[in-house]
Structure 1
């Protein structure tokens, strides 16, 4: 009798598997990508990184999706993926598919169950704790940190003014790292003047290693990856980061145990940090954050907050160097707000920098730091096209493609025109989603915008950004060549020149 039950269960499982696979093949037939599907590997060969001419897989597939009405499908080994370049389809997926994509599991080896990539049942209660922490009232308090750190950055840039070509990346990256660490952990690492800090070195190594693994399917299985020599290096640097953050949490908990409740400052008399606010916010919830949960959420803020702002601002600097007329309008706006003074930038100044915000948004449209996000389909979902996708399908929301879709942005979609964001509401709320929308969007959107506006404002008050000396007029008009790891990055490492402004 037992063997009969086992046999029936086995037959049922086989039938279910074949039915589900048949549905996947039906979906693929309706949304087929125009590229050869090879045995075993499927379309995996399309996931190549830049080959030097700026052709990256999410751009190639994104263009194919745009040409195919906004959605295509492709086999990555034995898994079916949809690639979406249409805001209407994106909206349906984002509202109905809450689980993040399979490849995000590799980032979880670093951040654990940090809410940005956690399973839904973990994400929901943590979101309730985190949402109040990112209120505008709290974020406004951090502008003083952004101003202080960006003025340090502007001072360090002075030797570069009037000199040769150089990369702004190191300056912007260490600025955002110091700002994030001070606002999140309450410590000033001073990495702008000391870029060899062990935490920064470990952070940089781990970020690059995660990126390599995401685009290397042969390293997906955990047991295989752990057999590789590179795993020991990854594990060592991960431990450096975790130990550092754990020590900060331990010290902070000791301090808060003696700090009067309701005080707006920490025990040292400084403004509260994200860590302070998370501890106190979780104290008010039914389930208090453990030390591990605090570390996981802090890792999300540090990793996401550092790279996204630095990448976005670096792309903006390069675009301004290539569009002097845009930079001139920006300088006029800064002069209207600050005059000839060298006063500190305040939170009241940020709403007045409307053109600067439009410049940043247009840069994020053309070169979104996170050019794609992924979701898993767990229940049947009917797309606007009428096609129903089923459990087992993964969806890549191609943000780059949605930002370049001419149906929503017009025939001049490849042109850098900040005025787009000053002309009124967009045709579709999801045609622009550099930080994803809705439901599981990035809580740090306003934080990142405030940080980028402050750093670029304080830089441009003192300098004019010029293109590299070796570039000709034709090259300056071409789209930037990019590559992709965890973020989209500039192949030429954000090279520019600087000259001091004469007001």
Structure 2
């Protein structure tokens, strides 16, 4: 018994020495600063709570600079908030694959454009790019306009009735828009949408996926069962899958019935689900590909757009002087209150609203941190060589708030940051709310047009106020950026 114990102890010590020596070797050869962390754990204990992750990153970056190296258990790990290094990473063919933390997304939403590895990602991206072409996006404007008019009808009972949480309303709105523009079907006809059950399922799935991303042991179904997370998560995944499958089947039946009618216009053919089902018929996609990609695209289209619109309204409520400037610009285009049609030409003329939207996404980026991993050695422009298999966290949150890049007011909200003379000398990768480079967000133009139409109508008809101070905002790392406490907003009718 004693001999067995000694052998186990010796093996453990040798393994411990191997890991520790490997860490020191990486730190010495890479010549990148960073916390060595604790034996076995590395820096994992600092990142175990989502509420603490962004603050921990801030401490590391303040102490070690904008590029740091450490360990998550036995896994080599970097945090980067330097624009040039980020450009090196995002434009490298050896750093296209997402980090291992996104395995949780595969489990919860399916393996699609968000998390596919290359070369499968490149193939899918090329096949699905037409779904977000310019003419297709223009064809969505009637939907954006119509759905925003319905949203304003829902807001009427809230006028001059104190501060409210508008996020659930905005999420229902953006989910309805997302299903119409990508799936060709209106989710509002579904019972689980009308009862808000579907939205609750989406939030459950998103929260559990985020837990799994940052607590990898939860990727085990057995562990989720032990801690009581599996049952609700499984029900959420199942209901969402059934919802998506129903939309796909409904669209395929409708297409079959319309096959005898005159050919549809080119932009209709390029609606996301039409492309995906056409690829299915041609044998390029299988059924799982269609289902997974549809699920991913709806997840992405509704969650980030709802948050972007809400956070922009929240910031304008906190900084009313900028809200009034935006209102004056919008009123010059639309003199009368009530509903009105926003055209693409109108969208292009909202120059100050562009500044506001950019500044909102700088201060409160829709996705604060994204992850990549090296598939081969990657040589940076500063001469550092990152080995194969290193996990890299691209910290957009702190780069967007860096005083070295954005000046002394970097941490506050001021649309003047995006005036031409202020932005012209900034590094092209200093502001990347939709990432950039080879694997940028496929729907970034969609998100901007949708958000501008929505904001134009809301800001023309309402003044937004809040008693919550900007300084008290506490940001929580998630798959998308969340707030520990969501500020409530009051709507005052404009005339």
Shorter-chain TM-score: which interval?
A: 0.7 to 0.9
1:399/1:433 contact within 8 Å kept: yes
- Structure number with higher helix proportion: 2
Alignment partner, residue 316 of structure 1 = 312
Q: 2:70 — aligned with what?
A: 74
Q: Which residue of 2 aligns with 1:491?
A: 484
Q: What secondary structure is seen at the aligned counterpart in 1 of 2:234?
A: helix
* Mapped contact 2:33–2:67 kept (Cα < 8 A): no
Using the alignment, how far apart are the partners of 1:95 and 1:315 within structure 2?
Answer: 30
CA deviations on 1:50-93 (whole Å, 9 max, x unpaired) are 66xxxx42343145325533101222122121000101111112
Partner of 1:44: 44
CA 1:191 to 1:499, structure 2 compared with 1: closer, same or farther past 3 Å? Answer: farther
Distance 1:88 1:192 in 2: 47
Gaps of 5+ in 1: 1-16
Does the 8 Å contact 2:369/2:396 carry over to 1?
A: yes
SS in 2 for 1:82: strand
Aligned residue for 2:87?
91
Task: Give 1:326-365 correspondences, 5 Å limit.
Answer: 326-340=322-336, 342-365=339-362
Q: Name the residue aligned to 1:432.
A: 431
CA distance in 2, matches of 1:411, 1:191: 50
8 Å Cα contact 2:162-2:490 kept in structure 1 = yes
Q: Distance in 2 between matches of 1:233 and 1:140?
A: 39
Match of 2:411 in 1: 414
Q: Distance in 2 between matches of 1:326 and 1:431?
A: 23
Q: 1:338 to 1:384 in 2, by over 3 A?
A: same
- List aligned pairs for 1:59-458, cutoff 5 A: 59-62=55-58, 64-65=60-61, 68-96=64-92, 97-190=95-188, 196-221=195-220, 224-225=223-224, 229-257=228-256, 258-259=258-259, 262-264=263-265, 273-280=271-278, 282=279, 288-340=284-336, 342-423=339-420, 424-425=423-424, 427-458=426-457
In 2, the alpha carbon distance for the partners of 1:297 and 1:28 equals 39
SS in 1 for 2:188: coil
Mean alpha-carbon deviation: is it higher for 103-112 or for 20-29? 20-29
Partner of 1:33: 34
Please say if residues 24 and 393 of structure 1, whose CA atoms lie closer than 8 Å, have aligned partners that are also in contact: no
Query: How many aligned residue pairs are there?
Result: 471
| Cα distance change of structure 1 residues 265 and 93 upon mapping to structure 2, 3 Å threshold | closer
Per the normalisation by structure 2, the TM-score is: 0.87
Question: Structure 1's 401 and 79: CA in aligned 2 closer, same or farther, altered over 3 A?
Answer: same
User: 23-32 vs 374-383, which deviates more?
Assistant: 23-32
Residue equivalent to 1:12: none
Q: Distance in 2 between matches of 1:419 and 1:302?
A: 33
Work out the CA distance in 1 between the residues paired with 2:451 and 2:478: 21
Gaps of 5+ in 2: 1-15
Cα distance in 1, alignment partners of residues 189 and 247 from structure 2: 17
Cα 1:223–1:120 change in 2 (3 A) is farther
Residues 261, 79 of structure 1: CA spacing in aligned structure 2 closer, same or farther, 3 A cutoff? farther
| Paired residues of 2:144 and 2:454 also in contact (CA < 8 A) | yes
